[in-house]
Amino acid sequence: MFEKEEEKLTNHKNSYDNIDIPLKLLDDAIVAGFQKAKSEEKQKPRTKKWVLSLATAAILFIGFFTSVRLSPAFADYVTVIPGMEKLVELIRSDKGKLQAIQNDYYEEINVSQEKDGLTFTVDGVIADEDGLVLFYSLEAEEKQKELLIEEVHLEGLENEKLDLGSFSSGKQFISEDGETTFNDMFEYHFQTPLKARSFELTVKVKGEQQTKMYQIQFELKKDIQKKKTITLNKTVNIEEQKITFLTAEIYPLRIAVHVKMDPKNTKKLLDFEDLRLVDEKGEIWNKIANGVTASRISDDEVIIYLQSNYFHDPKELYLVLNKIQAIDKEDASIVIDTQNKKILKQPKGNIVSDLIVEGEHVGFDMHIIDEFHYFPFAAVKDKNGKQIESPEQSTASHDGNTEVGLRIPGLTAEMSPISLELSFYPSWIKGEGKIRIR
């Protein structure tokens, strides 16, 4: 049976990004939702409309439809609602967020604050019990070549505290010719269910000549959908390594898959890079591409985040994986002598070389054949096993080499040797793992 599924996956391999999202049964509801939104827009004034030139929208949609095809009804309504093109462009690689919008789960906010010719607007949100994605835009009276989001803080009002788990920030906006509109999103995920409905967002925006601080309050009025929990308790075996899938919690924004590895495994399993959901038609929901992809509980337990199929109701649904980054447990760290600039220990294969130590900066080369775009270290510890907080990491690839650099605050000779514990590494185990969850 698995061979048949693999054949289906192979046939879809080169086109899965273009898979039609099955919306035929949902089109009427989608259209009705957008018609309602347009009707309400005519009945009451809005604080601020989304700003987007039609020429830019056309260009964006050429790129958008090459990666995700939408139903004709949804595509038509996206093109006529102000600002929706920009929003969809931001999330076009995430089926879960796209389906949230297609199912009228996006909530329009449109609250603005203007300072010295630069307006910051909270355009809208997608919220569930686990997280909140906040879409925003910046509009300038004069063209801006560079804007930087420096500080972002979100808090709940009415004494509702936010138990923040992770936060994906914005970006630096750079335009060689200058632009008057920019947009992006902030993504929050919480450690406990979100209860707050009123919020205050504080954002610092640094321009070419001055820095401005914005404080915007907004409220959620739509009901938040409850999570769906599927109990799995099923084990797969990949190259004699046992992996048990405990539960899958399905939220509108993402799916949290709770995985536990057998402590008796001989390898440390680092990253389940191709874990995915597949329905009976071969449609795929991959791991989260941008943002937090996993939360490690311990060496043998992890939560993996997939794109959400919350609004999709297939007859059959499978968790499938074929490739896991893994390394022998005794090789799960790189040990370096920063005083004598020597590599004392590394995994089999000796792909690490050319150690450089300059002040607090440590760097070396990793000779890698396959593509590998990861920050490799989970923790940095001194010779006494004490963890060194927040080392900065960077990678750059060229000519088959990956240059890895990190800053170790307060690095001294007395701290050596330094142990760099691996969270990613170019070593894999492969097999056929498949669990039916529906």
Over the stretch 210-243, which tens digit does the pLDDT of each residue have?
899 999 999 999 999 999 999 999 999 999 999 9
Would you say residue 281 has pLDDT above 80? yes
Tokens matching residue 68: 């995700």
How far, in Å, CA of 162 to CA of 164, rounded?
A: 6
Q: pLDDT tier at 74 (50, 70, 90 boundaries)?
A: low
Q: Which band of pLDDT confidence, cut at 50, 70 and 90, is reported for residue 371?
A: low
**pLDDT reported for residue 176:** 85
Cβ neighbours for 216, distance < 8 A, ≥ 6 positions apart: 111, 112, 113, 120, 122, 200, 201, 203
- In CATH terms, is domain 106-224 a member of 1.20.140.10? no
Q: Is the peptide bond before 263 cis (omega within 30 degrees of 0)?
A: no
Please state, for a pLDDT cut of 90, what percent of the chain lies above it.
Answer: 59
Tell me if 111 sits within 8 A of 78, measured CB to CB: no
Range of weakest confidence among 37-41, 133-137, 289-293, 409-413: 37-41
Q: How confident is the model at residue 88 (pLDDT cuts 50, 70, 90)?
A: confident
Please give the average per-residue pLDDT across 17-39, as a whole number. 38
Residue 60: pLDDT band with limits 50, 70, 90: very low
Computed over every residue of the chain, the mean pLDDT equals 82
Does residue 279 have a pLDDT over 50? yes
pLDDT of residue 159: 84
Token pair for 171: 């970006």
Evaluate if residue 48 carries a pLDDT over 90.
no
The mean pLDDT value for 359-376 works out to 83
pLDDT of residue 209: 80
For residues 46 and 260, which has the higher predicted lDDT (pLDDT)? Answer: 260
Is-contact 194 130, C-beta < 8 A? yes
Tokens describing residue 348: 């089999």
Average pLDDT of the segment spanning 115-142: 94
> What is the pLDDT, as a whole number, of residue 81?
56
Q: What distances in angstroms separate CA 248 from CA 226, 233, 259, 420, one per listed residue?
A: 14, 10, 9, 32
Look at 57-61, 252-256, 427-431 and tell me which has the smallest mean pLDDT: 57-61
Residue 78: band (very low, low, confident or very high) from pLDDT cuts 50, 70, 90: low
- State mean pLDDT over 96-111: 94
pLDDT tops 60 at residue 57: no
CA distance 55 to 60: 9
Contact indicator for 82, 52 with CB cutoff of 8 Å: yes
Sorting pLDDT into bands at 50, 70 and 90, what band is 375? confident
Q: Which residue has the higher pLDDT, 60 or 112?
A: 112
Question: Is the per-residue pLDDT at 21 higher than 60?
Answer: no
Check pLDDT > 90 for residue 391.
no
- Contact residues for 405 (Cβ-Cβ < 8 A; gap 6+): 361, 362, 363, 393, 394, 395
| Residue % of the chain over a pLDDT of 70 | 79
- Quote helix, strand, coil % in the chain, to nearest 5: 15, 45, 35
**Overall pTM surpassing 0.95 (yes/no):** no
pLDDT band at 34 (very low <50, low <70, confident <90, very high): very low
CATH assignment, 228-326+430-436: 2.60.40.1640
Residue 84: per-residue pLDDT: 73
Q: Which of 44-48, 59-63, 153-157, 396-400 has the highest mean predicted lDDT (pLDDT)?
A: 153-157
User: How would you classify residue 109: left for phi > 0, otherwise alpha for psi between -120 and 50, otherwise beta?
Assistant: alpha
Q: Supply the pLDDT for residue 44.
A: 40
